[in-house]
Amino acid sequence: MAVLTVNDLCKTFGAGTARSNRVLDHISFDVRGQTFVSIVGPSGCGKSTLLNIISGVETHTSGAISVTSDDGRPARLGYVFQDPRLLPWRTVRKNMMYVQDKDDEVTRGRVDRYLDMVGLGKHGDFWPGQLSGGMQQRVGIARAFAVEPDLLIMDEPFSHLDAITARGLRAQLQDIWAQSKKTVVFVTHDVVEAVELSDRIIVLQPGGRIYEDITIDLPRPRRQSDPAVATLQAEVLARLEKMKAMTPQVAASV
Amino acid sequence: MSNPVVEASPAAPAVTWQEGEALARKASARTRRKRLALLTAGWAAMFLIWQLAAYYLPFGVLPAPLEVGEVMWDIVVSGAFAENFFASVGKTFLGFVVATAVGAPIGYLMGRYDYWKAFFHDGVTVAGTIPALTYAVLSLIIFGISDLGPILSVALVSVPFVAINVAEGVRGVDQSLVRMSQAFGRSSRQIRREVFVPTLVPYVFAAIRMSFAVAWKVEALTEVFGGKNGVGFQIRSEYQLFNIDGVLAWMCLFIIFMLIVERLVLRKLENRVLAWRPEERVGK
Ligand SMILES: Nc1ncnc2c1ncn2[C@@H]1O[C@H](COP(=O)(O)OP(=O)(O)OP(=O)(O)O)[C@@H](O)[C@H]1O
Ligand SMILES: [Mg+2]
C-alpha cells in the first residue's frame, strides 16, 4: 500500500510561450492505504497528465507531490497506460520480465500466473506485433499487476476491450485489490465502471480543477444488479450532467 | 493507388476463397516466371556482347568468356580463391567494425543533442560526398603496403553512412517506451540496452547495407595498390604478368561472391535479428 499526497499541484505545458496551456489547476488530494480512487472527467481535462506526474515521468510546474509506501520505503509503482506500450522487439514474457527487478523462479512463476489471468497463458513467446490491440492491452495490464506494486496506476485500462473481457478483468482487478493490499488510482470515462470499483471518485473539470470528490460507501463485492449500485450510478451521472451544464463548451464526453 | 470499389466489376462471378487463393498463386507465379526470363535474357545479352567484343578486338586484348571461365575454375579449384576472398572479406568487416565504433557514437550525439548535430553535421555530409577513390589513395599514403590500408579505406567510406543512420535511429526512439521504462523504475542503463539499442539495430543494418555496396569495391581498389594479399592484390599480380584472363577471372569471381554476400548473407542475418518486425514475417 502507498501514501499519495498531492498538494496544490499545477501543470502548464509550454509555460511562457504563446501556446501556454494550463492543464492542472491547484489540485490537492491524498490517498492512503487500501483505497481505490477513480478519476473521471471529460477528454483533455488532464487525467493522463496527472497520472504521469504521479508516476514521475512528467514534471509539474508548481505544488508538491509525494508517493511513499506506507512503511516509508520508496513505493513500487505499476502503471497501465492508455496504450499498451510494449517493446516490439521482446516477446510477451520478456516484456513482463523487463519491468521486474529479479530474474528467478518465483518471479517467472508470478509472470506466468498473471499472463494466465488475463487469458494469454499460451502467448508468452509471441511478439507483440502478433497480438491484437486488445491482447496487447491485456499484456500491459498483466505487466503492471505482476510487479505487485504498492501503488497501481491505471489509465482507462479496459476501454479498448470488448464488454465481456472487460467485465472479467474488472472482477479480477477487484479480487486482486481486495487480497493484495494496494492503493489504486484509476482513470476512466465510464461512470458506471467507476461506481462499481471505487471507494472514491474524483471528478476533474475542464481546465483541470477538482469539481467534486465523491465517497462511494457501498459494501463489496458489488453487483451490477444491486439496486443500491444502480441508484448511486444514476446519482453520480446526474451530478456530472450538472457539471456539463455549467461548462457548456465541453458538452461532449464524460 | 487503385480504387477497389471502381475496379470490382458488378458482374464479377462469385469465387470461393480456395479459388481466389489459387488465382493469386497463379498470378504471382506468372510474374515470377516473367522476371526470371528477363533476368536470363539480360545475362545472355551481356555474354553475347562480351563474346562479340572479344572476337572483333585485336587478339589478346579481351579474352572470351569461356577462357575466363576456365581460369576462374582453376582459381577456385586450387584454393587460391577461398584464401584471398576470405582475406578481403575479413578486411572489409574489420573496416565495418572500426566504422561502427567511430560512427555510432558520432551518430548518437548528432541524434541526441542539437549542438553536437551542429558540430558534426557538415563534416559528416562532406565526408559522405568525397569520392571513394580519395579514401583509397589516402589510406595508401598513410599505411603504404599493409593490411591496414584496406581496413582504413573501408572504415572511412562507411563512417558517414553509420553516423547518419544512427542519428536517424536515435531520433526515431519511441519516447513513450522511455516513459514506460521510467514509470517502472528502470535504470538508464536498462533503458539504453532495451529501448535505444533495439531501435538502432535496423538503422545500423541499413547503414551496413548501403556502405557495403561501396566498401567492397574500395577495399579491392586499395588492395590493388597497397595489399599483401586478398583479391585486389591478386588482380595486380596477374596484371603485372600481363595476364588479362587472370585479371578478369579474379574480378568476376569477386563480383559474383560479393553480390552473394550482399544479397544472401546480409539479408538473412538481418531477417533473423529483426524477426520481431511483423512485416518481416510475412510469407515465411
Ligand atoms: N506533452 C505535452 N505537451 C503539450 N501539451 C500536452 C502534452 N500532453 C498533454 N498535453 C495537453 O494537456 C491536456 C490534457 O491532456 P491529457 O492527456 O492529460 O488529457 P486526458 O484527460 O487524459 O484526456 P483523454 O481522456 O482524452 O485521455 C490536453 O489539452 C493536451 O493537449
Ligand atoms: Mg488520457
Question: Are B96 and B212 found together in one domain?
Answer: yes
- Do residue B103 and residue B211 come from a single domain? yes
Q: Are B244 and B161 in the same domain?
A: yes
Q: Which helix (H) or strand (E) holds B175?
A: helix B175-183
Is the pLDDT at B99 greater than 90, yes or no? yes
- pLDDT, tens digit (0-9, with 9 covering 90-100), for B138-181: 888 888 888 888 999 999 999 999 999 999 999 999 999 999 99
- Residues comprising chain A, all counted: 254
How many Å apart are CA B15 and CA B26, to the nearest integer?
Answer: 15
Residue B50 structural domain: 22-62
Q: What would the mean pLDDT of B54-82 be, rounded to a whole number?
A: 87
| Band (B281; pLDDT cuts 50, 70, 90) | very low
Contact A138 CB / ligand 1 (< 6 Å):
no
Residue B283 pLDDT > 70: no
Which residue in the set A78, A79, A88 is minimally distant from B276, CB to CB? Answer: A88
Q: What pLDDT does residue B14 have?
A: 66
Residue to test with chain A: of B175, B184, B273, most A Cβ within 10 A: B184
Please report, for residues A20, B76, B223, the alpha-carbon distance to residue B154 in angstroms, rounded to integers and kept in the order given. Answer: 50, 25, 11
Query: Residue B242 — pLDDT band, cuts 50, 70, 90?
Result: confident
Q: Rounded to two decimals, what is the model's pTM?
A: 0.79
The best mutation among A12, A27, A43, A48 to test binding of ligand 1, ranked by most ligand atoms within 8 Å of the C-beta, falls on A48
CB-based contact A85 B184, cutoff 8 Å:
no
Same domain, yes or no: B51 and B72: no
Using 50, 70 and 90 to split pLDDT, how confident is the model at B3?
very low
Q: What is the pLDDT of residue B23?
A: 84
Q: Tell me the ipTM for this assembly.
A: 0.89
Helices (H) and strands (E) in chain A, counts: 7, 9
CATH of the domain at B156: 1.10.3720.10
* CA–centroid distance, residue A24 to ligand 1 (Å): 10
A250: DSSP letter: G
- B36: cell is 526470371
Residue extents of the structural domains in chain A = 79-148
Q: Is residue B10 part of a domain?
A: no
Determine contact, residues A244/A251, Cβ cutoff 8 Å: yes
Which pLDDT value is given to residue B13? 59
Chain A partners within 8 Å of B183 (Cβ)? 55-57, 77, 79, 153
Instruction: Select from A99, A111, A154 the residue whose CB has the most chain B CBs within 10 Å, as the one to mutate to test that interface.
Output: A99
Would B259 be classed as within a structural domain? yes
Average pLDDT over residues B244-270: 86
Choosing among B188, B276, B277, which should be mutated to test the A contact, i.e. which has the most A CBs within 10 A? B276
Residues B115 and B216 occupy one common structural domain: yes
Closest partner CB to A79 (pick from B184, B194, B195): B184
Average pLDDT for chain B:
86
Q: Do B195 and B178 touch, CB atoms closer than 8 A?
A: yes
Q: Is residue B15 part of a domain?
A: no
**Given this model, what pLDDT does residue B4 score?**
46
Of B5, B39, B62, which residue is a domain's last? B62
B205-225 mean pLDDT: 86
Residue B45 sits in the same domain as residue B74: no
Residue B17 has pLDDT above 80, yes or no: no
Residues B186 and B228 in one domain: yes
Position in ligand 1 atom list of the atom nearest CA A47: 21
Q: For residue A44, how far is its CA from the centre of ligand 1 (angstroms)?
A: 5
**Quick one: pLDDT at residue A247?**
67
User: How many domains are contained in chain B?
Assistant: 2
A239: buried, middle or exposed (CB in 10 Å: 19+, 13-18, 0-12)?
middle
Highest mean pLDDT among A47-51, A227-231, B240-244, B263-267: A47-51
CB-based contact B183 A79, cutoff 8 Å: yes
Q: Are residues B236 and B219 in the same domain?
A: yes
Kindly state whether A94 is in contact with chain B, defined as any CB-CB distance less than 8 angstroms: no
**pLDDT confidence tier of residue B12, bands split at 50, 70 and 90:** low
Inside any domain, residue B267: yes
Nearest atom, ligand 1, residue A49 CA: 18
Show the low-confidence residues of chain A (pLDDT under 70): 247-254
Write out chain B residues lying below 8 Å of A87, CB-based.
Answer: 177, 194-195, 198
Note whether B31 and B117 are same-domain residues: no
Chain position carrying cell 475542464: A206
The verdict on residue B163 lying in a domain is: yes
Could you tell me if the CB of A21 is within 6 A of ligand 1? yes
Q: Is A47 in the pocket of ligand 1 (CB under 6 A)?
A: yes
DSSP per position, A203-233: EEETTTEEEEEEE----SS--TT-HHHHHHH
Cβ distance B154 to B102 under 8 Å? no
Instruction: Indicate if B254 and B276 belong to the same structural domain.
Output: yes
Instruction: Please check whether residue B1 lies inside any domain of the structure.
Output: no
pLDDT score, position B20: 79
How far away, in angstroms, is B231 Cα from ligand 1 center? 61
Q: Which residues contact A2 (CB under 8 A, 6 or more apart)?
A: A31, A32, A67, A68, A69, A70, A75, A150, A151, A182, A183
A46 touches ligand 1 (CB under 6 Å): yes
Q: Are A178 and A197 in contact (CB under 8 A)?
A: no
Same domain, B32 and B108: no
Q: In terms of domains, do B162 and B35 share one? A: no
